A and B are shown apart, each in its own frame.
Chain A
């Protein structure tokens, strides 16, 4: 079976981040092609491509673009490179190894949507990636690709700026991102209005994930239909799946959107470390409901994972082997959401800390069965009652771990301690050291 690579095909080539290398491989050819066409044709191709957002929600990209009001100017593009969902580590590779692909995607998107200023919002911890991207943007300016004339040809001014965050997961949420970009703390806004209508500085703004935008040059070069054909149903193309945890070859794998999850883990990522048994998998970043070992023989396509009771989300697959205490794992996830809640809504602010506390109690054997019930109740009271989706993101793991692995919680309660004891994270040092990185560029 021949596999088409769109996003990762140039990774690992020497100097792949440079303009010269990108050009030598045909880079900016799609932009060149588009200069001769009607901007609306790009939007049509993206619609035809069935590209769905790679940032988590899987919303149809072409459709989102059509939500821009017809005659309000200026309008902005904001590329989401916040990449802070635990288990997600793919966008940074695009930026590190092929930043010009992203820049060409931004240029095409801006041209298609009549946008003249774009910001890439990148998490503050990605200092190296921000430098690489800034350097690539400067190269593109120096070469006249950006600036007053797009690709030096078209009278279409365009500039791109990198805006670094400073450590806050919530700024990946699109409206919090805009607040942060405006120079404020990252408090999500009530929606509607959606950013496409009222966005950055109150102006229409398209927000897309890095990986989403990086697909646009290929779509323009090869046609939307070809991209759609790589996928299945209403979901086109390939995706970057990040596999982490207890597999022999953790790393980023580019596969068709509907690739099989079991195959990804057992074959591509080399199966479970030390020949141990698989216990559980989170298929789409820490907020996605957990799957038990017997539930992973599924397609990773957004709707298919949803049908299986979880979410393909950001494509971050986290693998737990049998040595892991799932109460401990969930307690750690709950701590994350408690730390990262912006504190605006009471159910989220109070509920996430409450859940963290109960889980700590269960893990250390200080809880009763009533606490386990309480945990379920608290999660239920957060879900659907908050301004942004962080509340749901915090509740879903708790609800799903309880649904699938409740006996393990009750065993903690009965034994008054963690049955796994000290070793509850599995993987001793020597087997950890034996791990080989799969996609180490």
Chain B
């Protein structure tokens, strides 16, 4: 475990990115009562991930400071939710659903295919930093299964050919 007090000072972060973060966060904070700023933790971390690439201790600390809460709280949230990355992911994140309805229509085969093709185990990234491959739980696409998310964009009714096309197109 890293000690949040000794690493991840906000000053480490590029200034213009912090300013960008602050501008966007101001808009987000309008959605919550002024005395309930901490409610914006998930959106603030999502914003941090977008701007800084991943949730380093410094980014977590930035979110916590701006929301008037503790870095421990930010870390707790950053590690609880699967859509948050506390390590830098590859340029593209490919997430294949292998839950029941997807498996009934070929989801597991698609995941196995991608593992073989990209030579990756679940959660790993290609050496060129192009793709992180993950197995995920139900994406809510059961009627249009099998499904996968690529950088938060949903692809449904997949076939092996379609998957090859989509993944092949990622730069």
Contacts and interface: CB of A to CB of B under 8 A. Distances in A.
A353 interface: no
B107 to A, nearest CB: 8
A333 B153 contact: no
Contact of A332 (B103, B143, B145): B103
B142 A318 contact: yes
Contact of B159 (A166, A250, A319, A429): A429
B27 to A, nearest CB: 12
Contact of A425 (B84, B103, B138): B103
A250 B77 contact: no
A252 to B, nearest CB: 6
A324 B103 CA distance: 10
B101 A184 contact: no
Contacts of B33: 117, 201
B106 A427 contact: yes
Nearest to A440: B144
A185 B77 CA distance: 5
Interface in B29-49: 31-33, 36, 38-43, 45-46
Given A185-B76, A332-B100, A88 B142 contact: yes
A250 B140 contact: no
Given A184-B41, A250-B145, A425-B103, A128 B137 contact: no
Contacts of A312: none
Most buried by B among A127, A186, A243, A320: A127
Interface in B49-96: 67, 69, 73, 76-77, 80-84
Interface string A358-398: 00000000000000000000000000000000000000000
A432 B159 contact: yes
A106 to B, nearest CB: 15
A295 B161 CA distance: 38
B143 A180 contact: no
A397 to B, nearest CB: 10
A339 interface: yes
B7 interface: no
A87 B83 contact: no
Contact of A166 (B81, B99, B140, B143): B81
Contacts of B109: 425, 429
A426 interface: yes
Range for the number of chain B residues in contact with chain A: 35 or more
A340 interface: yes
Interface string A316-350: 10111000100001001100100110000000000
Contacts of B105: 245, 427, 432, 435
A163 interface: yes
A50 interface: no
B108 interface: yes
B140 A165 contact: no
A124 B67 CA distance: 20
B164 interface: no
B22 to A, nearest CB: 18
Given A185-B80, A433-B159, 17 more contacts: A87-B138, A89-B143, A125-B83, A125-B154, A128-B153, A164-B43, A167-B83, A168-B82, A183-B42, A184-B77, A244-B145, A246-B104, A286-B100, A427-B106, A435-B105, A437-B157, A439-B143
Interface of B: 31-33, 36, 38-43, 45-46, 67, 69, 73, 76-77, 80-84, 98-101, 103-106, 108-109, 136-145, 149, 152-154, 157, 159-160
Interface of A: 83-89, 92, 117, 123-128, 161, 163-169, 180-186, 201, 242-246, 250-252, 282, 286, 316, 318-320, 324, 329, 332-333, 336, 339-340, 425-427, 429, 432-433, 435, 437-440
25 contacts: A84-B138, A87-B101, A117-B33, A123-B140, A124-B81, A124-B83, A163-B42, A166-B45, A166-B83, A183-B42, A183-B73, A184-B41, A186-B81, A242-B142, A245-B142, A250-B143, A286-B99, A286-B100, A318-B100, A318-B104, A332-B98, A336-B138, A433-B159, A435-B105, A439-B143
